[in-house]
Amino acid sequence: MAVDDERHVEIVNALDNSHFHGLVCCDPTSVLLLTGFWPVLGTSVVIFAGDGNVAVIVPEDEVEIADVSTSARIIPYKPSQLQSLECPIRALSAPIRLAIASLSLSGKTLGVEFRQTMQPASYASAAHFHASLVDLLGGLCLSLKLVSCDPILEPLKAKKTKKEISLMQWAADIAADGFIEANRCITVGMRETEVAAAAQSVFDTSLKAEGLERSYGFFYCMSGPNSAKAAAAYARTRQRTIRRGDLVMIHANTCADGYWTDITRTYTAGEPTERQDAIRIAITKARAEALNAIRPGVAASDVDRAARSVMTKHGFGAAFRHATGHGVGFAAANANGLPRIHPESPDVLAEGMTFNIEPAAYFDGYGGMRHCDVVAVNSNGATVLTDY
Amino acid sequence: MAVDDERHVEIVNALDNSHFHGLVCCDPTSVLLLTGFWPVLGTSVVIFAGDGNVAVIVPEDEVEIADVSTSARIIPYKPSQLQSLECPIRALSAPIRLAIASLSLSGKTLGVEFRQTMQPASYASAAHFHASLVDLLGGLCLSLKLVSCDPILEPLKAKKTKKEISLMQWAADIAADGFIEANRCITVGMRETEVAAAAQSVFDTSLKAEGLERSYGFFYCMSGPNSAKAAAAYARTRQRTIRRGDLVMIHANTCADGYWTDITRTYTAGEPTERQDAIRIAITKARAEALNAIRPGVAASDVDRAARSVMTKHGFGAAFRHATGHGVGFAAANANGLPRIHPESPDVLAEGMTFNIEPAAYFDGYGGMRHCDVVAVNSNGATVLTDY
């Protein structure tokens, strides 16, 4: 696999400017960031040395995927076998020791993950290491000094390379098929589960996914009063039957080999009412103003203000309950992903940053409307990855 | 919500027999075990006192679900708001302090999660706390002594209550709809993605899910040589087109409000060959022998041996590459879930334990066949939850 040179250089620079001699990480998003390989079960560990040499310890079942997605040295291991029964973390001990020694990191200061992160669903079930990886490193008797590397990982994750943005674009293009189907099929009398399944099915079978190792995602449908509940930090499809005049919100998180999108469109069942038209006009203008405000060097809070002031002017300030956006790409849904397009955000936009712009209005008991796009900051403005 | 008395008594007994005065846990499966509420985003924290009093700190967006699923005291909190921007873990500090004080646990020994666990996908994206929750507890200046509670949680998770088994049965019943559709639709010329999407769609829209807060799951299709790759610890649907004579394996992990199934069936595209018939006969007998061996007090390794000896006798010993089963319920796929139905397992079966029985044979480059059921140990044998 061709290495993402742009990414590799940025990590080496970040390490140069830090007090770490290397990084040892296990969060699937961190392994992806540092190697290009997105672990399935969360039991892979990457060791990135300050000199740019990288080793990734991968359960042998996942070597097939790692082989085509990273140029890092792959060290396979067996987390479980028929001949013996051991705690999976223990199986990592010998390969980690080997990798640290071969990268000349014994006795050095290594960055490890201590803080809370959001991890997208990499499989039906995935590992959480809690403190056990840090404990393992401490128990290797290699005189390692372990320090939190979260402050350098998060800014690295905020700014995407050209290759990473192209994968996000790919994911967005496949997701479009699901939204086209949702728009086509929404009918009075259908259940939310039926609309979501129809969109999901068209997405799941899209031939645009050919060439990716893993293309998948989650489509949700929330209608009528349930669409107001979409103001929450998560979406949920229910069995509710769609009625004439309902707002019908379709939300999707989809991924292409580990790079995620966060997309919402809101339709109406039947002809929109005047009220619905008024909300849509406000959201459309708020979106345009937010997009217009985006360019390198701009305060993220200014982008929030651009959208929020339109919503307020149109009488929907109180109904726009959440921030205008947050970083997207390594995690599907992470309200704290950098940059935070939030009234109190200290973040400043830079070229390559990817985030969502999601102006919305929610009215308890009635419904909610949201239009959520994924955008990338380019050299003098915003590229909308979900321009459909 | 009616409390699951059976579960509550078991936890209090386990605490009585431990050196903990209480537990503080954040893994979604642990919150589910200790309260009956399965967090969506993984940012809920449960505090369970040895006297049986329980408080669960829940992001306000998830209170709606917690309300109908637990009788524990719910303490809502705001992980993020428009007026301020803070690290989500910090928002937990005040409510955790309050809960510990109100449960009279200051200065006490509390069990916390340190070890690796497998967590099922509770949403498109979920939180990992790493060491940050333990750090937070240490920083509260409440003279808490923090000790790993994993050794008592895992055995508690292995044995299900009647209520928990009934939810697993519900999940298995809904999943049946997907398997019926897969069996109906598999046709030469279809792509794996199309078969998986068809099964998924019927499952997603099943009316049997009515009454559950969250019914969802993952259907996978692997055909021909890809079905041999299902020997791995995870499943993966690809764009491959099904050919005449292929083995076509459908694997599903589905859940009912947090309780998971692990189910596989293998079909043939067209008439089965003699070789395929021979494999199926061996697997069917191995399954019957394993089921027959199950009852309270039996060594889990004996159940593995019962299945493995049939496979070996039929010439498929080497092709049966993995253990006969592992604990299922709180996690969809966890090869180390108790009890481990593995040749070297020290585990002993007890009434209420739930696990899978998955005799299989894999032939690289040709295909694989697996039949995976979910079973519960009853007072004198096994109840098959997936008897279809």
Cα separation, A205 vs A209, in Å, equals: 8
- Answer for the pair A39, A195: CB distance below 8 angstroms, yes or no: no
Mean pLDDT, residues B303-324: 98
pLDDT in tens, B190-245: 999 999 999 999 999 999 999 999 999 999 999 999 999 999 999 999 999 999 99
Report yes or no: A191 and A240 within 8 Å, Cβ to Cβ: yes
The set of residues, in sequence order, having a beta carbon less than 8 Å from that of A218 and lying 6+ positions away, is A121, A200, A252, A253, A254, A332, B124
Average pLDDT over residues A336-352: 96
- Strand duo A382-384 + B247-256: pairing: unpaired
Averaged pLDDT for residues B159-165: 97
- Looking at the complex, does the CB of residue B193 fall below 8 Å from at least one CB of chain A? yes
Q: Does the distance separating the beta carbons of A124 and B128 come in below 8 Å?
A: no
Q: What is the pLDDT of residue B332?
A: 79
Class of the A5-158 domain?
Answer: alpha beta
Evaluate if residue A1 carries a pLDDT over 60.
Answer: no
Q: Which tens digits make up the pLDDT trace of A176-234?
A: 999 999 999 999 999 999 999 999 999 999 999 999 999 999 999 999 999 999 999 99
Cβ of A204 and B210 within 8 Å?
A: no
B379 touches chain A (CB under 8 A): no
Cβ–Cβ contact B214 with A under 8 A? yes
Domains B5-158 and B162-384 share a fold: no
Least confident residue range of B80-89, B168-177, B183-192, B335-344: B80-89
CA–CA dist B238, B225 (Å, integer): 11
Q: Answer whether A128 sits within 8 Å of B117, measured CB to CB.
A: yes
Give the DSSP per-residue string, B188-214: TT-BHHHHHHHHHHHHHT-GGGTT-S-
Q: Crossing angle, helix A5-16 and helix A150-158, to 10 degrees? A: 150
CB A192 within 8 A of CB A237: yes
Looking at residue A2, what is its pLDDT?
54
Contact A59 B120 (CB under 8 A): no
- Measured in degrees and rounded to the nearest 5, phi and psi for residue A152 equal -95, -25
CB of A365 within 8 Å of a chain B CB? The answer is: no
Phi, psi at A194, each rounded to 5°: -70, -40
Query: Distance (Å, rounded) from C-alpha B182 to C-alpha B249?
Result: 10
- Which pLDDT band, with edges at 50, 70 and 90, does B2 fall under? low
Question: Positive or negative CA dihedral for B42, B47, B52, B53?
Answer: negative
Please tell me which residue of chain A has the smallest CA distance to B240. A210
CB A265 within 8 A of CB A183: yes
pLDDT digits (tens, 9 = 90+) for B317-361: 999 999 999 999 998 778 889 999 999 999 999 999 999 999 999
User: Virtual CA dihedral for B338, B343, B348, B352, nearest 10 degrees?
Assistant: 50
Amino acid identity at A120: P
Residues of B in contact with A334 (CB under 8 A): 125
**Model confidence at B15, in pLDDT bands (50, 70, 90)?**
very high
**A40: nearest CA in chain B?**
B234
Domain ranges for chain A: 5-158, 162-384
From the list A87, A128, A239, the residue facing B128 with the nearest CB is A128
Residue A169 neighbours by CB distance under 10 Å: 19
Q: Tell me if A116 and B128 make a contact (CB, 8 A cut-off).
A: yes
Contacts of A198 in chain B (CB under 8 A): 201
pLDDT above 60 (res A53)? yes
Residues of B in contact with A345 (CB under 8 A): 85
- Hey, of B29, B43, B61, B128, which one would you mutate to test binding to chain A, going by the most A CBs within 10 A of its CB? B128
Q: Name the 3-class secondary structure at A340.
A: coil
Q: Which residue of B has its CA nearest to A239?
A: B210
Q: What are the chain A neighbours of B27 within 8 Å (beta carbons)? A: 128
| pLDDT > 90 in chain B, percent | 91
- pTM of the full predicted structure? 0.97
Options 3.60.20.40, 3.40.50.300, 3.90.230.10, 1.10.10.60; CATH of B162-384: 3.90.230.10
Contact A131 B130 (CB under 8 A): yes
- Asked if A130's CB is within 8 angstroms of B116's CB, the reply is yes
Whole-angstrom distance, CA of residue A289 vs CA of residue A255:
27
Q: Does A61 touch chain B (CB under 8 A)?
A: yes
Q: What CA–CA distance (Å, rounded) separates B187 from B242?
A: 7
> What residue in B sits closest to A190 (Cα-Cα)?
B205
Kindly report which listed range (A247-261, B38-52, B234-248, B326-340) carries the lowest average pLDDT score: B326-340
Amino acid of residue A305: R
Q: Measured between CB atoms, does B84 come within 8 Å of chain A?
A: yes
Strand pairing category for A22-25 and A45-49: antiparallel
Q: What are residue A199's DSSP bridge partners? A: none
Give the pLDDT confidence score for residue B335 in this predicted structure: 84
Model ipTM over 0.90: yes
Two structure tokens written together for A178? 């699901």
Place of tokens 């079973």: B375
Among residues of chain B, what percentage have pLDDT more than 70? 99
Average pLDDT over chain B reads: 96
Q: Do the beta carbons of residue A350 and residue A338 sit within 8 Å?
A: no
Residues 139-168 on B with a CB inside 8 Å of A are: none
Pure H helices in chain B? 5-16, 28-35, 63-69, 88-91, 93-102, 132-138, 150-158, 162-185, 192-204, 225-228, 274-293, 300-313
pLDDT at A334: 84
What is the C-alpha to C-alpha distance for residues B268 and B247, in angstroms, rounded to an integer? Answer: 5
